[in-house]
């Protein structure tokens, strides 16, 4: 049983010492209590909360820990997927021109380019006895020049192999008969020539020529025009000839021909 302070103050020392002794015994033989668990003898009102304390000063840096041991390398991981290509970078500045390199070795000689060629010349042989027929090609059967083989003495026809511009000329000796012939291209007359025989005692001549543009496969020949004008003549002293040659080719790239 607790005694209030006012009551203790009203007692005399003789009256209060038994109570003091009792309190001492209670404190000594009672279980120890924490300070904040001791029941208060008087109940007061709660105090005003104190203000926040100041921040404490930073503590001292801790000591460095011990170095760890090197572990064994781990196993190699699987290769990752290839990433998408990045955007092209900005083009760099042009560098300075480098020093000239050493002169290279001389190459082997190349093939010599040869311009396209086509030319021929043929004449009627003096021993020929075949009569000339209107509408037939005149066969200049004695070859003077035909290196490329573009003229056929059996048919009397020239066949174009190299495209370009050609010049053709016909020289005829006229004797004992008048003469008229045509220069033909693919069956069409491109030029006609005529010479009348006036009972002269000596042979006369008839010549003509023209330029033609040909493509591969075109044919050119001399053809009799009229049946009564067939006075082509040839002898050891005079000839009738058919000549043609390439003036210039249409090939721009200078094709090589043997």
pTM score of the predicted model: 0.54
Residue 22 CA to residue 40 CA, distance in Å, equals 18
Cβ-contact 178, 228 below 8 angstroms? yes
Residue range 69-96: mean pLDDT, rounded: 84
Please provide the average confidence, as pLDDT, over all residues in the chain: 81
For residue 128, the model assigns a pLDDT of 61
Task: Choose which CATH entry (2.60.120.40, 3.40.50.10420, 1.25.40.80, 3.40.630.30) describes domain 119-249.
Answer: 2.60.120.40
Residue 255 in this model has a pLDDT that exceeds 50: no
CA 132 to centroid of chain Cα atoms: 63
Using left for φ > 0, alpha for ψ between -120 and 50, and beta otherwise, residue 149 falls in left
Residue 16 CA to residue 53 CA, distance in Å, equals 45
For residue 30, the model assigns a pLDDT of 56
For residue 194, the model assigns a pLDDT of 87
Residue range 7-16: mean pLDDT, rounded: 61
Q: Where exactly are the structural domains of the chain?
A: 119-249
Instruction: Give the tens place of pLDDT for each residue, 119-145.
Output: 999 999 876 645 677 888 999 999 999
């Amino acid at each position: 049983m607790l005694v209030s302070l006012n009551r203790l103050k009203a007692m005399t020392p003789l009256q209060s010492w038994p109570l003091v002794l009792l309190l001492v015994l209670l404190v000594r033989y009672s279980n120890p209590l924490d300070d904040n668990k001791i029941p208060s003898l008087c109940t007061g009102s709660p105090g005003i909360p104190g203000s926040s304390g100041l921040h404490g000063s930073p503590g001292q840096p801790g000591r460095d820990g011990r170095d760890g041991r090197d572990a064994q390398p781990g196993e190699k991981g699987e290769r990752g997927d290839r990433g998408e290509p990045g955007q092209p970078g900005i083009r760099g500045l042009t560098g300075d021109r480098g020093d000239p390199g050493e002169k290279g070795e001389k190459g082997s000689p190349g093939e010599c380019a040869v311009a396209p060629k086509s030319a021929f010349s043929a004449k009627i042989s003096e021993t020929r006895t075949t009569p000339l027929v209107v509408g037939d090609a005149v066969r200049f059967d004695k070859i003077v020049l035909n290196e490329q083989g573009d003229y056929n003495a059996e048919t009397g026809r020239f066949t174009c192999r190299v495209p370009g511009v050609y010049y053709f000329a016909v020289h005829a000796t006229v004797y004992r008969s008048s003469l008229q012939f045509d220069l033909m291209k693919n069956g069409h007359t491109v030029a006609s020539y005529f010479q009348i025989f006036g009972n002269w005692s000596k042979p006369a001549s008839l010549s003509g020529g023209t330029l033609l543009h040909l493509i591969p496969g075109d044919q050119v020949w001399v053809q009799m025009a009229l049946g009564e004008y067939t006075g082509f003549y040839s002898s050891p002293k005079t000839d009738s000839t058919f000549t043609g040659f390439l003036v210039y080719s249409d090939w721009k790239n200078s094709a090589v021909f043997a």
